[in-house]
Amino acid sequence: MPRIAILGGGLCGRLTALQLAEQGLSVALFDKGGRKGEHAAAYVAAAMLTPATEAVDGTPEVVRMGWQGIPLWRNIIGRLKTPVMMQENGSLIVWHGQDKPLSDEFVRLLKRGGVSAHETVRWGAGEITANEPQLAGRFSDGIYLPAEGQLDGRQALTALADTLEELNVPCHWEHECAPEDLQAQYDWLIDCRGYGAKTAWNQATGHTSALRGIRGEVARVYAPEITLNRPVRLLHPRYPLYIVPKENHRFVIGATQIESESQVPASVRSGLELLSALYAVHPAFGEAQILEIATGLRPTLNHHNPEIRYSRARRLIEINGLFRHGFMISPAVTAAAVRLAVALFDGKNVPERDEESGLAYIQRQD
Protein backbone atom coordinates (compact mmCIF):
# COMPACT_ATOMS: atom_id res chain seq x y z
CA MET A 1 0.00 0.00 0.00
CA PRO A 2 1.51 3.39 -0.97
CA ARG A 3 2.11 6.00 1.69
CA ILE A 4 0.53 9.29 0.55
CA ALA A 5 1.22 12.79 1.86
CA ILE A 6 -1.17 15.62 1.07
CA LEU A 7 0.29 19.11 1.26
CA GLY A 8 -2.31 21.75 2.07
CA GLY A 9 -5.17 21.20 4.47
CA GLY A 10 -7.66 23.63 2.98
CA LEU A 11 -10.83 22.48 1.26
CA CYS A 12 -9.20 20.53 -1.58
CA GLY A 13 -6.68 18.88 0.70
CA ARG A 14 -9.31 17.75 3.19
CA LEU A 15 -11.66 16.44 0.50
CA THR A 16 -8.85 14.56 -1.23
CA ALA A 17 -7.66 13.06 2.05
CA LEU A 18 -11.21 11.99 2.92
CA GLN A 19 -11.78 10.16 -0.36
CA LEU A 20 -8.43 8.37 -0.27
CA ALA A 21 -8.82 7.38 3.39
CA GLU A 22 -12.30 6.01 2.71
CA GLN A 23 -10.70 3.70 0.16
CA GLY A 24 -8.43 2.32 2.85
CA LEU A 25 -5.27 4.06 1.65
CA SER A 26 -2.54 5.34 3.97
CA VAL A 27 -2.81 9.14 4.00
CA ALA A 28 -1.23 11.94 6.04
CA LEU A 29 -2.18 15.60 5.78
CA PHE A 30 0.18 18.56 6.27
CA ASP A 31 -0.92 22.20 6.53
CA LYS A 32 0.77 25.43 7.57
CA GLY A 33 -2.43 26.60 9.27
CA GLY A 34 -4.63 25.37 12.06
CA ARG A 35 -7.41 22.82 12.24
CA LYS A 36 -10.11 25.44 11.68
CA GLY A 37 -8.62 26.24 8.27
CA GLU A 38 -8.26 29.94 8.97
CA HIS A 39 -5.31 30.25 6.55
CA ALA A 40 -7.24 28.67 3.66
CA ALA A 41 -9.07 30.59 0.94
CA ALA A 42 -12.12 28.46 1.79
CA TYR A 43 -12.30 29.96 5.28
CA VAL A 44 -13.17 33.36 3.80
CA ALA A 45 -15.49 32.07 1.06
CA ALA A 46 -19.28 32.38 1.11
CA ALA A 47 -19.56 28.70 0.05
CA MET A 48 -22.26 29.22 -2.56
CA LEU A 49 -23.25 26.42 -4.94
CA THR A 50 -24.46 28.54 -7.84
CA PRO A 51 -23.68 26.98 -11.23
CA ALA A 52 -26.55 28.76 -13.00
CA THR A 53 -25.33 32.17 -11.82
CA GLU A 54 -21.75 31.28 -12.76
CA ALA A 55 -22.95 30.59 -16.31
CA VAL A 56 -23.10 34.37 -16.74
CA ASP A 57 -19.32 34.76 -16.81
CA GLY A 58 -17.81 31.40 -15.81
CA THR A 59 -16.28 28.94 -18.22
CA PRO A 60 -18.37 26.02 -19.54
CA GLU A 61 -16.03 23.62 -17.73
CA VAL A 62 -16.60 25.33 -14.38
CA VAL A 63 -20.37 25.40 -14.88
CA ARG A 64 -20.45 21.68 -15.72
CA MET A 65 -18.45 20.79 -12.61
CA GLY A 66 -20.65 23.13 -10.57
CA TRP A 67 -23.75 21.17 -11.51
CA GLN A 68 -21.94 17.97 -10.51
CA GLY A 69 -20.91 19.54 -7.21
CA ILE A 70 -24.36 19.88 -5.62
CA PRO A 71 -25.24 16.15 -5.48
CA LEU A 72 -21.63 15.33 -4.65
CA TRP A 73 -21.76 17.68 -1.64
CA ARG A 74 -25.04 16.12 -0.56
CA ASN A 75 -23.33 12.75 -0.53
CA ILE A 76 -20.18 14.01 1.22
CA ILE A 77 -22.12 15.71 4.01
CA GLY A 78 -24.00 12.47 4.60
CA ARG A 79 -20.65 10.79 5.31
CA LEU A 80 -19.26 13.39 7.70
CA LYS A 81 -19.28 12.78 11.43
CA THR A 82 -20.50 16.23 12.46
CA PRO A 83 -23.37 18.25 10.97
CA VAL A 84 -22.95 20.83 8.21
CA MET A 85 -25.65 23.24 7.10
CA MET A 86 -26.47 22.66 3.43
CA GLN A 87 -29.30 24.68 1.96
CA GLU A 88 -30.92 23.99 -1.42
CA ASN A 89 -33.51 26.75 -1.58
CA GLY A 90 -32.21 28.24 -4.81
CA SER A 91 -30.98 31.81 -5.10
CA LEU A 92 -32.69 35.11 -5.86
CA ILE A 93 -31.42 37.89 -8.12
CA VAL A 94 -32.89 41.37 -7.49
CA TRP A 95 -32.31 44.93 -8.70
CA HIS A 96 -33.61 48.41 -8.11
CA GLY A 97 -35.98 49.87 -10.69
CA GLN A 98 -33.39 52.07 -12.38
CA ASP A 99 -31.14 49.06 -12.91
CA LYS A 100 -33.64 46.93 -14.84
CA PRO A 101 -31.42 46.93 -17.99
CA LEU A 102 -28.89 44.98 -15.94
CA SER A 103 -31.45 42.21 -15.41
CA ASP A 104 -32.13 41.96 -19.15
CA GLU A 105 -28.41 41.57 -19.76
CA PHE A 106 -28.17 39.04 -16.93
CA VAL A 107 -30.90 36.89 -18.52
CA ARG A 108 -29.23 37.13 -21.92
CA LEU A 109 -25.95 35.93 -20.43
CA LEU A 110 -27.71 33.10 -18.60
CA LYS A 111 -29.13 31.86 -21.89
CA ARG A 112 -25.77 32.21 -23.60
CA GLY A 113 -24.26 30.17 -20.78
CA GLY A 114 -26.69 27.33 -21.43
CA VAL A 115 -29.10 27.87 -18.53
CA SER A 116 -32.45 26.50 -19.67
CA ALA A 117 -35.88 28.02 -19.13
CA HIS A 118 -36.85 25.58 -16.34
CA GLU A 119 -33.75 26.65 -14.40
CA THR A 120 -34.87 30.31 -14.43
CA VAL A 121 -38.11 31.63 -12.88
CA ARG A 122 -39.32 35.23 -13.02
CA TRP A 123 -40.70 36.46 -9.73
CA GLY A 124 -42.90 39.50 -9.41
CA ALA A 125 -43.54 41.47 -6.23
CA GLY A 126 -46.04 38.87 -5.00
CA GLU A 127 -43.66 35.95 -5.33
CA ILE A 128 -40.85 37.91 -3.67
CA THR A 129 -43.16 38.79 -0.76
CA ALA A 130 -44.33 35.18 -0.39
CA ASN A 131 -40.85 33.69 -0.47
CA GLU A 132 -38.75 36.45 1.11
CA PRO A 133 -41.18 38.39 3.31
CA GLN A 134 -38.58 40.84 4.55
CA LEU A 135 -37.92 41.99 0.99
CA ALA A 136 -41.62 42.82 0.51
CA GLY A 137 -42.14 46.18 -1.14
CA ARG A 138 -38.45 46.67 -1.85
CA PHE A 139 -38.18 44.94 -5.22
CA SER A 140 -40.85 44.63 -7.90
CA ASP A 141 -39.07 41.95 -9.95
CA GLY A 142 -36.58 39.17 -9.41
CA ILE A 143 -35.05 36.11 -11.01
CA TYR A 144 -35.26 32.90 -9.02
CA LEU A 145 -32.75 30.15 -9.80
CA PRO A 146 -34.29 27.11 -8.06
CA ALA A 147 -31.48 24.57 -8.48
CA GLU A 148 -28.81 26.51 -6.57
CA GLY A 149 -27.74 26.26 -2.95
CA GLN A 150 -25.05 26.92 -0.37
CA LEU A 151 -23.12 25.45 2.54
CA ASP A 152 -21.72 26.73 5.77
CA GLY A 153 -18.11 26.59 4.62
CA ARG A 154 -16.53 26.88 8.05
CA GLN A 155 -18.70 24.08 9.39
CA ALA A 156 -17.63 21.98 6.40
CA LEU A 157 -13.92 22.54 7.10
CA THR A 158 -14.37 21.55 10.75
CA ALA A 159 -16.50 18.51 9.91
CA LEU A 160 -13.92 17.32 7.39
CA ALA A 161 -11.19 17.60 10.05
CA ASP A 162 -13.38 15.71 12.54
CA THR A 163 -14.00 12.93 10.05
CA LEU A 164 -10.35 12.63 8.99
CA GLU A 165 -9.34 12.23 12.60
CA GLU A 166 -12.02 9.59 13.14
CA LEU A 167 -10.61 7.76 10.10
CA ASN A 168 -7.18 7.89 11.81
CA VAL A 169 -5.65 10.17 9.21
CA PRO A 170 -2.63 11.92 10.78
CA CYS A 171 -3.30 15.66 10.40
CA HIS A 172 -0.17 17.74 10.94
CA TRP A 173 -1.59 21.21 11.54
CA GLU A 174 0.75 24.21 11.72
CA HIS A 175 3.36 22.18 9.89
CA GLU A 176 4.46 24.01 6.75
CA CYS A 177 6.49 21.99 4.28
CA ALA A 178 7.32 21.69 0.58
CA PRO A 179 7.21 18.52 -1.54
CA GLU A 180 10.97 17.98 -1.27
CA ASP A 181 10.64 17.87 2.52
CA LEU A 182 8.47 14.74 2.35
CA GLN A 183 9.67 12.83 -0.71
CA ALA A 184 11.94 10.53 1.28
CA GLN A 185 9.16 9.55 3.70
CA TYR A 186 6.22 9.01 1.34
CA ASP A 187 5.63 7.14 -1.90
CA TRP A 188 3.34 9.77 -3.45
CA LEU A 189 2.69 13.46 -2.79
CA ILE A 190 -0.48 15.38 -3.62
CA ASP A 191 -0.01 19.15 -3.60
CA CYS A 192 -3.24 21.00 -2.69
CA ARG A 193 -1.63 24.17 -1.36
CA GLY A 194 -3.45 26.56 -3.70
CA TYR A 195 -1.80 29.96 -3.79
CA GLY A 196 0.86 28.65 -1.42
CA ALA A 197 2.18 26.49 -4.28
CA LYS A 198 2.59 29.45 -6.66
CA THR A 199 6.39 29.31 -6.90
CA ALA A 200 6.55 25.54 -7.37
CA TRP A 201 3.70 25.56 -9.88
CA ASN A 202 5.15 28.34 -12.03
CA GLN A 203 8.69 26.94 -11.98
CA ALA A 204 7.64 23.52 -13.23
CA THR A 205 8.87 22.56 -16.67
CA GLY A 206 6.23 23.01 -19.35
CA HIS A 207 3.46 24.35 -17.12
CA THR A 208 0.36 25.19 -19.14
CA SER A 209 -0.88 28.23 -17.27
CA ALA A 210 0.68 30.58 -14.73
CA LEU A 211 -0.78 30.65 -11.23
CA ARG A 212 -1.60 33.94 -9.54
CA GLY A 213 -3.74 35.15 -6.66
CA ILE A 214 -6.93 37.20 -7.09
CA ARG A 215 -7.95 39.09 -4.00
CA GLY A 216 -11.42 38.86 -2.56
CA GLU A 217 -13.00 40.76 0.33
CA VAL A 218 -15.94 39.49 2.33
CA ALA A 219 -17.89 40.91 5.26
CA ARG A 220 -19.71 38.88 7.92
CA VAL A 221 -22.47 40.46 9.95
CA TYR A 222 -24.96 39.47 12.61
CA ALA A 223 -28.45 40.85 11.91
CA PRO A 224 -31.03 39.40 14.34
CA GLU A 225 -33.88 41.39 12.76
CA ILE A 226 -33.30 39.95 9.28
CA THR A 227 -34.24 36.54 7.90
CA LEU A 228 -33.46 35.47 4.34
CA ASN A 229 -34.28 32.00 3.06
CA ARG A 230 -31.67 31.81 0.32
CA PRO A 231 -28.69 33.71 -1.10
CA VAL A 232 -29.70 37.05 -2.63
CA ARG A 233 -27.70 38.84 -5.33
CA LEU A 234 -28.15 42.52 -6.03
CA LEU A 235 -27.46 43.68 -9.58
CA HIS A 236 -25.89 47.12 -9.48
CA PRO A 237 -23.70 49.01 -11.98
CA ARG A 238 -21.01 49.80 -9.39
CA TYR A 239 -21.60 47.65 -6.32
CA PRO A 240 -22.99 44.22 -7.29
CA LEU A 241 -23.03 41.96 -4.25
CA TYR A 242 -24.32 38.74 -2.80
CA ILE A 243 -25.82 38.21 0.64
CA VAL A 244 -25.63 34.65 1.91
CA PRO A 245 -27.65 33.76 5.03
CA LYS A 246 -26.05 31.36 7.47
CA GLU A 247 -27.51 29.96 10.66
CA ASN A 248 -28.43 32.17 13.63
CA HIS A 249 -28.95 35.38 11.60
CA ARG A 250 -25.38 35.57 10.36
CA PHE A 251 -24.78 36.76 6.82
CA VAL A 252 -21.82 36.69 4.47
CA ILE A 253 -21.58 39.62 2.06
CA GLY A 254 -19.20 39.65 -0.86
CA ALA A 255 -18.58 41.39 -4.12
CA THR A 256 -14.99 42.20 -4.76
CA GLN A 257 -12.68 40.51 -7.24
CA ILE A 258 -9.45 42.45 -7.40
CA GLU A 259 -6.42 41.75 -9.60
CA SER A 260 -4.01 42.00 -6.71
CA GLU A 261 -1.95 39.66 -4.59
CA SER A 262 -1.87 42.06 -1.66
CA GLN A 263 -2.89 40.47 1.63
CA VAL A 264 -3.31 43.67 3.62
CA PRO A 265 -6.64 44.23 5.39
CA ALA A 266 -9.61 45.57 3.43
CA SER A 267 -9.65 49.27 2.66
CA VAL A 268 -12.23 51.72 4.00
CA ARG A 269 -13.52 52.18 0.44
CA SER A 270 -14.11 48.44 -0.03
CA GLY A 271 -15.85 48.22 3.32
CA LEU A 272 -18.09 51.16 2.51
CA GLU A 273 -19.05 49.72 -0.87
CA LEU A 274 -19.94 46.34 0.60
CA LEU A 275 -21.92 47.72 3.50
CA SER A 276 -23.63 50.50 1.52
CA ALA A 277 -24.92 47.97 -0.99
CA LEU A 278 -26.04 45.74 1.88
CA TYR A 279 -27.96 48.64 3.44
CA ALA A 280 -29.59 49.29 0.05
CA VAL A 281 -31.06 45.78 0.07
CA HIS A 282 -32.71 46.35 3.46
CA PRO A 283 -32.26 49.30 5.87
CA ALA A 284 -32.45 46.95 8.86
CA PHE A 285 -28.95 45.83 7.93
CA GLY A 286 -27.89 49.26 9.17
CA GLU A 287 -28.26 47.90 12.72
CA ALA A 288 -26.29 44.73 12.00
CA GLN A 289 -23.14 43.99 13.96
CA ILE A 290 -20.00 43.69 11.84
CA LEU A 291 -18.33 40.45 12.87
CA GLU A 292 -15.40 40.70 10.46
CA ILE A 293 -14.25 42.00 7.11
CA ALA A 294 -11.86 39.38 5.79
CA THR A 295 -9.65 39.12 2.73
CA GLY A 296 -8.27 36.14 0.86
CA LEU A 297 -6.40 35.21 -2.29
CA ARG A 298 -8.07 32.79 -4.68
CA PRO A 299 -5.56 30.67 -6.68
CA THR A 300 -6.27 31.40 -10.33
CA LEU A 301 -4.90 30.22 -13.66
CA ASN A 302 -5.00 32.30 -16.84
CA HIS A 303 -7.92 30.39 -18.35
CA HIS A 304 -9.92 30.46 -15.07
CA ASN A 305 -10.27 26.66 -15.02
CA PRO A 306 -8.70 24.27 -12.51
CA GLU A 307 -5.90 21.92 -13.53
CA ILE A 308 -4.69 18.54 -12.34
CA ARG A 309 -1.05 17.76 -13.18
CA TYR A 310 1.03 14.70 -12.43
CA SER A 311 4.58 13.39 -12.68
CA ARG A 312 5.34 9.69 -12.41
CA ALA A 313 9.06 10.47 -12.04
CA ARG A 314 8.48 12.78 -9.09
CA ARG A 315 5.52 10.73 -7.78
CA LEU A 316 3.62 13.97 -7.53
CA ILE A 317 0.04 15.08 -8.24
CA GLU A 318 -0.89 18.78 -8.20
CA ILE A 319 -4.38 20.27 -7.93
CA ASN A 320 -4.79 24.02 -8.36
CA GLY A 321 -6.59 26.96 -9.94
CA LEU A 322 -10.09 26.70 -8.46
CA PHE A 323 -10.36 30.52 -8.52
CA ARG A 324 -13.56 31.81 -6.88
CA HIS A 325 -15.38 28.51 -7.43
CA GLY A 326 -13.77 26.48 -4.66
CA PHE A 327 -16.80 25.11 -2.82
CA MET A 328 -18.84 24.77 -6.00
CA ILE A 329 -16.38 22.65 -7.99
CA SER A 330 -14.05 21.09 -5.41
CA PRO A 331 -16.02 17.83 -5.09
CA ALA A 332 -15.79 17.20 -8.85
CA VAL A 333 -12.14 18.30 -9.06
CA THR A 334 -10.94 16.24 -6.10
CA ALA A 335 -12.91 13.17 -7.23
CA ALA A 336 -11.12 13.44 -10.59
CA ALA A 337 -7.77 13.78 -8.80
CA VAL A 338 -8.50 10.70 -6.67
CA ARG A 339 -9.35 8.66 -9.78
CA LEU A 340 -6.02 9.76 -11.28
CA ALA A 341 -4.18 8.89 -8.07
CA VAL A 342 -5.62 5.38 -7.87
CA ALA A 343 -4.65 4.73 -11.51
CA LEU A 344 -1.11 5.93 -10.84
CA PHE A 345 -0.77 3.94 -7.62
CA ASP A 346 -1.84 0.80 -9.49
CA GLY A 347 0.56 1.45 -12.37
CA LYS A 348 -2.28 1.75 -14.88
CA ASN A 349 -2.39 3.90 -18.00
CA VAL A 350 -3.82 7.36 -17.37
CA PRO A 351 -6.44 8.69 -19.80
CA GLU A 352 -6.00 12.12 -21.30
CA ARG A 353 -9.18 13.30 -19.63
CA ASP A 354 -11.32 12.34 -16.64
CA GLU A 355 -14.53 10.93 -18.04
CA GLU A 356 -16.86 12.23 -15.32
CA SER A 357 -15.62 15.79 -14.73
CA GLY A 358 -14.16 16.44 -18.20
CA LEU A 359 -10.91 17.69 -16.65
CA ALA A 360 -7.71 16.99 -18.58
CA TYR A 361 -4.91 15.14 -16.81
CA ILE A 362 -1.74 17.05 -17.62
CA GLN A 363 1.55 15.17 -17.46
CA ARG A 364 4.49 17.29 -16.36
CA GLN A 365 7.52 17.18 -18.60
CA ASP A 366 10.11 16.38 -15.95
Order of strands across the sheet that contains 289-301: 121-124, 141-145, 91-95, 232-235, 241-245, 250-254, 211-222, 289-301
The predicted model gives 21-38 an average pLDDT of 97
In CATH, 88-148+213-301 is 3.30.9.10: yes
Show Cβ contacts of residue 34 under 8 Å, excluding neighbours closer than 6 positions: 173, 174
pTM of the model: 0.96
Range of lowest pLDDT (34-43, 111-120, 246-255, 261-270) = 111-120
The predicted model gives 81-89 an average pLDDT of 97
Binned at pLDDT 50, 70 and 90, residue 317 comes out as very high
State how far the Cα of 244 lies from the Cα of 239, in Å rounded to an integer.
16
pLDDT (tens digit, 9 = 90+) per residue, 112-143? 888 987 789 999 999 999 999 999 999 999 99
Domain limits of the chain?
3-80+152-211+303-363, 88-148+213-301
Contact call for residues 261 and 215 (beta carbons, < 8 A): yes
140-to-92, 106, 128, 263, 289 alpha-carbon distances in Å = 13, 17, 8, 39, 28
Residue type, 259: E
Query: How many Cα atoms within 13 Å fall on the side-chain side of residue 88?
Result: 8
- Is residue 91 helix, strand or coil? strand
Query: How many Cα atoms within 13 Å fall on the side-chain side of residue 297?
Result: 21
The CA-to-CA distance between both ends of the chain, in Å, stands at 25
State how far the Cα of 177 lies from the Cα of 90, in Å rounded to an integer.
40
The predicted model gives 167-189 an average pLDDT of 96
- What CATH number is given for 3-80+152-211+303-363 in this structure? 3.50.50.60
Average pLDDT for the chain:
94
186-to-20, 73, 86, 172, 344 alpha-carbon distances in Å = 15, 29, 35, 14, 15
Count other C-beta atoms under 10 Å from residue 63's C-beta: 23
Q: Is the pLDDT of residue 366 over 80?
A: no
The predicted model gives 104-109 an average pLDDT of 93
Rg of the chain over Cα atoms, rounded to whole angstroms, equals: 21
Show Cβ contacts of residue 260 under 8 Å, excluding neighbours closer than 6 positions: 213, 214, 215
The predicted model gives 277-298 an average pLDDT of 94
Q: How much of the chain exceeds pLDDT 90, in percent?
A: 88
Check residue 181 and give its pLDDT: 94
